């Protein structure tokens, strides 16, 4: 068993930012598709909500950026606090395959 005594704050922040940006892309595609579907259904029923179809695809651009930035910030904060706590309790034990 080996212990993880310290995490690189910038390394964790970059990793977390990229992971969350990919999640934001996935959620943006799903949200954009749902918005287009609802906008089309609303237009067929005569409601003036056709803008939902085009505006919903902005989620594909906005969510990855928003999720990526917040993931980077939260990853940095999490790694920073992990380093503080690991000094007190000794870190996390992991089993590495040789």
Question: What are the angstrom distances between the C-alpha of 6 and each of 9, 30, 80?
Answer: 9, 37, 9
Taking residues 62-75, what's their average pLDDT? 97
Total domains present in the chain: 1
52 has pLDDT over 70? no
Beta-strand ranges (E) seen in 1-98 are 2-4, 92-94
Reading the block at residue 91, the tokens are: 């870190």
Reading the block at residue 14, the tokens are: 């970059």
pLDDT given at position 29:
92
Taking residues 34-49, what's their average pLDDT? 71
Cβ-contact 6, 79 below 8 angstroms: no
The more confidently predicted of residues 2 and 86 is 86
Taking residues 32-53, what's their average pLDDT? 70
Cβ-contact 86, 9 below 8 angstroms: no
Give the range of the structural domain holding residue 22, as residue numbers without chain letter: 2-94
The more confidently predicted of residues 20 and 36 is 20
53 has pLDDT over 70? no
């Amino acid at each position: 068993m080996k212990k993880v005594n310290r995490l690189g704050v910038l390394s964790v922040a970059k990793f977390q930012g990229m992971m969350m940006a990919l999640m934001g892309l996935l959620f943006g595609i799903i949200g954009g598709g749902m918005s287009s579907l609802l906008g089309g259904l609303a237009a067929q029923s005569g409601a003036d909500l056709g803008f939902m179809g085009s505006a919903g695809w902005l989620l594909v651009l906005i969510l990855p950026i928003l999720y990526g930035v917040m993931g980077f910030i939260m990853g940095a904060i999490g790694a920073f606090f992990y380093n503080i706590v690991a000094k007190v309790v000794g870190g996390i034990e992991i089993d590495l395959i040789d």
